[in-house]
Structure formats: C-alpha cells, structure tokens
Chain A
Amino acid sequence: MKNIFKIAFRNLLRYKRRTLLTSLLIILGVVMVVVFSGISKSFKEMMIGTITDSMLGHMQIHKKGYVSSIDNLPLHLNLNQNQIKKLTSILDENEKAIEAYTYRIKFGAMLSNYAQTTNIRLTAVNPEMENKASPALVERIINFSGNANAFINPGELIVPENLAKGLKLKIDQEVVLVANNKDGSVNGMSFTIAGIMTGLTGPSGRDGYIHLDDAKELLRIYGPEISEIAIRLKDGDNMKSVSSMLNQDLQVITNKEDKPVFELHTWDQLSPFSTIATMVDLLIYIVKIILISIVLISILNVMMMSVYERVSEIGTISAIGTLPSKILWLFVVEGFLLGLFSVVVGNIISVLSLYFINLAEFHFSFGRMKDILLTTSISAQELVTVSIIVIIISIVSSFQPAYKASKMEPVDALRHV
C-alpha cells in the first residue's frame, strides 16, 4: 500500500499546474463552507442565546391550550396554586439539568400618561427569579445600573422603548395601568417608570415589565397564580432531551377527562426566530451541497483526464503483471490524496480566516439590536464533518475512472498512442 501511495503521489506531481488548480478549487469550496458555517452558526447561536437568555428561557410550561390563545393573554388559563406546586416539584427533581425557573403572569393593559392612552403587554415577574432564569434581560434595560436581582420593585414599571418614545415617557414619571380582571371587572393602579427597555422580537415592541405582586393586586388575584413558568437549562444543547424528559413527567398529570393538564414548549416553538435559525441551517446544507458538487466534478474531471492520458502506461503495468485491483487502487488513492491535501489546506485557511474575522471585530445590527460584535467559531466536529465529506466524495469520484482503468484490456491499452 505504501508503494501505491508513493506512485499516486508522484502522479499527482506529474501535472503540477492541473493538480494545483483542482486543489485550489476544492480548497476554495472548503473555505467557503467552513467560514460560512463559522459565521452563520455563531450568528444563530448568538441570536438564540439572546432570545433565550433575555426573554423566553429555553422552555416554558403553561396550562394546556394557553399557547394556542397566547395572543389574547388569557387569564382564565392561569396555573393555580396546586398546579404550581406540582410543577415546582417536578422542576426541583430535575435540578441536574435545570439551572433556574421563573414564575410569570402575562396580561394586557392600557397605559396612560394622563394625556394619552395606549395598550401594552405586561409580564409580571419576581425580579430575583427572573434574573436567574433570564440573566440577559437587564442588559436590555437602557442605562441600567443597580442590583440585577431587584431590577423591578413594587410600584415600578419598565416600559418598551417604542411606547416610551410614543408617549414621551421619562424615568420616574408617573403613569396609570388599567387592566381587565379575570371576572371582567376593571382595575387601575399608578406606577413609576423605572426603566426603558429595548425591544427584541416581541409584537410591535409593546412588552413591559412589572413586579409580580403588583400584577396580582391589579388583577385582583388572591393567592398563588401564574400564567407560565420559564425554564433556563444548564446546557441549552440538551434542550431536546430535557424537554422530552419533562414532557414524560407532565403527561402523567391529567384532568378528570384524562387529558394532560400542562403543555411544554421549547423556545423554537415559541419564537419566530426559529424559522430564521432553520433557514440558516438550510443555507449551510446548500453550501455543503455546492462543496460536494465542486469536489465531485473537479476530481472526476481530473481523474478521467489522468486515466485517458495514461492509457499506454496502464497497458504497460498491466502487461508487467499488476493486478486490476492494484491499478484501481492507484487511481483511487490519487483522488484520495488530492482530496486530503485540499481539505487539510482548506481547513487551515478557514480556521485562520475565522481567527482574523474575530480580530477585525466586525459589528452588525439585528432588528432593534445594535452594534452586535460578530464572534465566529467553528467546532472540531464541523471541521471533521467537512473533511470526511470531501475525502469520501474524492474517493467516490475517483472510483469510476479508476474502475475504467482497471478494466482496460492490456493489449488494447498498449496499442493506444
């Protein structure tokens, strides 16, 4: 085998320019895939991180049917004391996978600055629990400085930037919130603007925050009652397995009609960004298919030319007594070496390119998020995957010309001029 590699390597060097051009084409393809994957996956993970860390959490638990009518923010589908107790117990049992969870009441209200009135979506939270489950939430509060575990206190309201601009609201300004209770009656309370929050992907940027105790008072909720539990995992990559595990625990809790009481959704089922994330993955697949095509066509072309140019040589080595299988291997190994060299060089250039992109510190905007630093990274697994793809395709594309060479009749091949 060592000699087959030696001869295959020498044959590659025989047509240096052609080998170099083919190799450059494959290197370009590898760089394209790795750099694109590095940038797009980093972008995707950064955005997912922002969404999960500052808003949704990795997953949420609601009463069955809540998410399908989430646009109405229905109060009658809130979780009661007994249900909260059961869920808390399940979550505490899974503390190995779960880092934190937070209770939330979500409801719609009217916001008035005594001159103008508009509608607002409110999330009522316990600030300490919320900060543990959504640690990046406070980063969205403009000019926030203070104790992150007490980012909202009773009597305070954090308003979205859009509404603050529209109603010309300022910090410490007094406003009134009016909300419908579960029984249909209306209640109002005055609040002080404690912060202005940049939007993320919430509808029309109308999401504000108040303290959980204030929400209960405003909505006249007596006793523990919440709309949802948002969960933060220790490792977001385990989301599918943890959600499956939790779902198993939740499915056994049924109502009188033997139907599940709770529903669990992962962040990608709750956020429209999951479509963008899927598209990013799709684009990476498309770029990989382009790479496969480049490798397939270029190696097939170069190996077919090699076989055609070396017909007489194939006749000679065949006449001398070289077995057809060894002739096949001579050409397959040639394609393999071409692919291997290209992918190694391609990977080195790609990793260096990503390193220099990070050094250059490119900034970009995403929606209302400004000045995001592009931090690229590529996993060893991704590099190995690209390498395996290129090497396998190199071998596969060399196989047809190699097979043709091995099947040549020596007497015909020797006659070839």
Chain B
Amino acid sequence: MALIELNKISRVYEMGETNIHALMDINLEIESQTFVSFVGPSGSGKTTLLNLIGCLDSPSDGEIKINGVRVNDFSRKKAAVFRGTNIGFIFQNFNLLPILTVYENVEYPLIMVQNVSRNERRERILKYLDAVGMTDQKNKYPSQISGGQKQRVAVARALVTDPKLVLADEPTANLDHATAIKVIELMRQMQRGLGTTFIFSTHDPKIVKEAEIIYTLEDGRMVTREEIGNPNIQAQEEN
C-alpha cells in the first residue's frame, strides 16, 4: 500500500465571480521511505498540492489517503491531531518561534502536541539536534543563528515527532546555493537514516537532482513523473 494516494484531486479557489483551478485531476501514489520532489514554476500548484497532502487544506474534488486513512473530511481538530502524529513540516521562511530557543523550538511539538515525558523529550531533542549539527547552538534564539542553521533546526523540529512523512515547501528558497545544497543533503541523509518519506517542492533545477522521484507540475496539472532511482537500492544491488 502506498503511503500517499491521491485520486482525481482538484482544488478550485473562488475569487469573487472567478474560479481559479489551482489543481486539476491529480492522480498520484507515493511509496513510503522515498525522497520526492515537486517541481514547476511559480503558480503551478506545488504549494497547493503539499497543503492538501499535509491536511492543511481540503480538495474541491477527489480523494486523499495517507497511510490508508481518508483525510478529506477531517474536522479541524482531527486534522491537527493527524498532522501532529504523522506529518512534519519544513517551511520556506523556516517559521521558528522567535520567543523560543533552538532547543525549545525542537521541543515545542513534543510538549504542545504529543505530551512526551521530560526524559524522553530531552533524549529525542538532543538526538535530532546532534543529527542536524545544532547541539552547540541549542541555547541560542532564532535571531542569533543564520538562515541555514534555522532550516537545520526546522528539519530537527519536523523529525523529532518521528513522523511518517515530512513536507517541505520550497525549503531552500531563502538560502544561498551552497547552503541550499547542504540543507537538501541533510534532508536526504535524514531520510536515508530514518526511513521517513520526504516530499519537497522547488523550482531550482540544481537541487531537484537529489530527489528519487520528481513530479513536474504546470498550470495545476501533473505533467511528468521522473524516477531517478533509489540510491540505497542501487547500492544494495551493486553489492
């Protein structure tokens, strides 16, 4: 069973008397433990598609199943609980809470969403901060660290709840190229290590090559699906 199943998904926004078709007739299946990219120019529907998969928005038509659960008709509360348990988010603008330290930002979903005990919390936070190389910065506030470091913290925050799926909407858009490559490599490394499914959107062709599967969107339609291959699988086959 695929982790994500999208069946004839459409999303229409009503702007006064005009209807804007952000997504039209999208069919998609994404297996677990894959590293997937949505590419396409601005306005192609990448963010809308990520929002639908992330249970942040509901489709106008069609059906979405995540891990076998139909998520279309979730109430706000149910959607929040589902997101908190199954999905991690990484945002273009990092979206760290400025009043919390790096440590507390990573801690936030564990105390406000999952009610994890203090000891386990500490263990998990330090594990992920170490994994993203931010342990020595843990007491700093977001305003005291660089953009690349903020996105590393955001990666740790997205992973600390052990989600099945991490969604990253243009995670490198506000980073310089070298830092962007490092962040994508970090995400790839985490995906390999943890077996979490990562989906990120981008319009940067240099970054997209890291993905195993690339979906290209244009004007709200899925135009191509390109499978680069799973380097893990390839490595096993070579051995």
Interface centre among A10, A325, A410 (most CB of B within 10 A): A410
- Contact in complex: B89, A319 (CB < 8 Å): yes
Q: A96 interface residue, CB < 8 Å from B?
A: no
Q: B98 interface residue, CB < 8 Å from A?
A: yes
Contact of A316 among B54, B82, B87, B95 (CB under 8 A): B95
How would residues 367 to 379 of chain A score, 1 for a CB under 8 Å from any chain B CB and 0 otherwise? 0000000000000
Q: B7 interface residue, CB < 8 Å from A?
A: no
- Contact in complex: B80, A7 (CB < 8 Å): no
- Contact in complex: B76, A10 (CB < 8 Å): no
Question: Interface size bucket, B side?
Answer: 20 to 34
Cα A322 to Cα B109 with chains together (Å): 8
Interface centre among A14, A316, A325, A326 (most CB of B within 10 A): A316
- Contact in complex: A321, B56 (CB < 8 Å): no
Closest CB of chain B to A410's CB: distance in Å?
5
Contact of B84 among A3, A321, A409 (CB under 8 A): A321
Which residues of A from 316 to 331 have beta carbons under 8 Å from B?
A: 316-326
Contacts of A11 in B (CB 8 A): 99
Closest CB of chain A to B86's CB: distance in Å?
9
Q: A414 interface residue, CB < 8 Å from B?
A: yes
Cα A313 to Cα B94 with chains together (Å): 11
Contacts of B161 in A (CB 8 A): 321
Closest CB of chain A to B198's CB: distance in Å?
16
Cα A82 to Cα B81 with chains together (Å): 84
How would residues 94 to 138 of chain B score, 1 for a CB under 8 Å from any chain A CB and 0 otherwise? 010111100000001101111000000000000000000000000
Q: B215 interface residue, CB < 8 Å from A?
A: no
Q: Which chain B residues have a beta carbon within 8 Å of chain A's beta carbons?
A: 51, 54, 56-57, 76-77, 80-85, 87, 89, 91, 93, 95, 97-100, 108-109, 111-114, 157, 161
17 other A-B residue contacts (CB within 8 Å) besides A312-B95, A321-B84, A323-B80? A313-B97, A316-B89, A316-B91, A317-B97, A318-B80, A319-B83, A320-B108, A321-B161, A322-B80, A322-B113, A323-B77, A324-B76, A326-B112, A409-B56, A411-B51, A411-B56, A411-B57
